[in-house]
Amino acid sequence: MKKFRILGIIFTMLLAAQVTMAAPFNAKAKTKRIPAGTEFQLKMLNGLDSSVNTSGNSFSAMLLTDQTADDDVILPSGSIIRGDIQGIVQPKRMSKGAILYLNFDHVVTPNGRQLPLTLNVVGRSDMTYDGGLTTTKGYADAWKQTCTKSGRITKNAISWGEDVANDSGWKYVTVPVSALGGVFGTAGYFVYGSIADMIKKGAHVKLYKDEVLKVILVDPIDVPVI
C-alpha cells in the first residue's frame, strides 16, 4: 500500500512539472492579425498557360512586401504562397478569349506553418466580372483592339511620309500620298480584322514566371508569433 502511495506522489510531481514547463510557452503563444483588404504583391514562381495547364495544377508565388502589425514584421517578404488552378474556360468563336481562375490556398509562415488564406487578383484590365483572367471578353473587345491597330496604321503611314518629305523636300506631295495610302491600308485592315474577329477564337491566357500580381486579402488571417 505504501509503495502505491509513493508511486502516486511521484506521478503527481511529474505531472505538475510538465504543467509548469508548459505554462510559460502557452502564455507567450499569441497571434497577430492581418486584416481583410490588405494588399499583397506576389511574384509568380512558375508560369501558367491556359492552353497547357489544367484544373488542379499547382503554382507558387512569393510575397514581395513585408506584412507588419504593431511595427513587427509578422509575414516577411519571401514568404511562399501556394495555390492551384480552380478552372479554365477554353477560348470560343467571336474572339472570346480563354478564362483562367486562380485559387490561392495557403501561405507558409517563417516557422513553417501553413495558414489558409483567400486572395483575389485586382488592378488588371483583363479580368472577368467573376474574377477570372482573360485576354479578350468577346467580339466588342476584339473590335476595339482592331480599331486601335487601324489607327496606328494611318498614324505610322503619315509619320513615314513626314520623314521622307523632310529628307527629300517633297513635303506637299509625299505627306498627302502617304496619308492616302494609310487610309486605304487602314480600311483594308479594318474590314479584314473585323471579319476575322467574328470568326476566330480568342487567345489563351498566359501568366509568366516572375510576373507580378496585385492581390487583396478577402478574409483576415491570424499569424502565430513568438
Q: What are 149-175's pLDDT values in tens digits? A: 444 544 554 454 444 445 454 444 443
Q: Indicate the pLDDT class of residue 108, thresholds 50, 70 and 90.
A: very high
Strands of the chain (E only): list them.
30-34, 39-44, 48-49, 58-63, 67-69, 72-75, 80-89, 99-108, 114-116, 119-121, 133-134, 206-207, 212-217, 221-225
What integer is the mean pLDDT of 177-188?
A: 44
Q: What are 66-101's pLDDT values in tens digits? A: 999 888 899 999 999 999 999 999 988 666 889 999
Gap between the Cα atoms of 73 and 80, Å rounded: 15
